[in-house]
Structure 1
Amino acid sequence: MANILMITGDFVEDYENMVPFQALIAMGHEVHAVCPGKNAGDFISTSIHDFEGDQTYTEKRGHNFQLNADFNTVNADQFDGLYLPGGRSPEYLRLDQRVTALIRDFFAANKPVASICHGIQLLTASHVVEGRKLTAYPACKPEVEMAGGIYVDVPLDQAITDGQLVTAPAWPAHPAMLSQFTRLL
């Protein structure tokens, strides 16, 4: 089974963090959840984003999620794949040059990478989307296009694969995204 790195942080989208973490472990994979500035055993706060008929999603406080690895000790060579959840954490994680360098290392090694929702912000900041067909939460479309990516509008429950990259717009796409990602692993 695969050894997967998950880069996450405070106010990550709860479902996009918890569900893939647990599902990948249930499939027999090993998942190492890390956050810059925090250590194994520390907790991050999550947010729950829901679609309730408003012009955009709503946000509520989610669960506490316990990290199981230290960011400072990981490198791409240790892992078979990378998973990037969405939510609010990509907004600030993309400012950490260690995070973007690590993401570039996964792409340089042509390892499978999955990104959902606002996780795409980590990819655009890492300069790895140019020429790639991908999707994300629709509000990220301008950012994807400015980074040279080819945004594909898909229903919220669908995902797309371009080479070793799997992307999805939001947590309703977990079945499609996880299926495509695990096939690449």
Structure 2
Amino acid sequence: MQDVPADGETMGEVVMRGNNVMQGYFNDPDATEWAFRGGWFHSGDLAVMYPDGYIELRDRAKDIIISSGTNISTIEVERVIYKHPAVLEVAVIAIPDAKRGEVPKAFVTLKSDFSVTVQEIIDFCRQHLAVFKIPKAVEFIELPKTATGKVQKYLLREKEWVGYEKRIH
């Protein structure tokens, strides 16, 4: 609940209040109380602020991967993979890892008439990302989406975390 420096680097959660913010979740007082803790609506979006006051969204708090205590932005990894000429769509999530707690996994939809291997995607990432941010696994699939076309990452997470009590290994 403190402003981050307007340096374009320090990440913080976007919170807001005002007459254009919802009053709460329908018939869910517990979720409303949690979302409005401290008198502000907690969006779950993580952003940096620039000296001119503009913010840049960087990720969702629930999507951050914590690998050996280091935060990895799924959006950063996705942006790199999107640059590969064979990639049409990508979603990156955390998967359990016995040594690091969780590590990135990329789910990739290829463009039609393109073919690429898992190792080629990993090698491409190696050229553009720090070693700890490189996906430890890549799966080629058609991404699950809502009727409006939004990727349903929670379905990918559910599949990967079957058998775990918590989403922290």
- For the aligned pair, the TM-score class normalised by the smaller chain equals under 0.3
Higher relative strand content: 2
Bigger Rg over Cα? 2
- Taking structure 2 as the reference length, the TM-score comes to 0.27
Higher relative helix content: 1
- Taking structure 1 as the reference length, the TM-score comes to 0.26
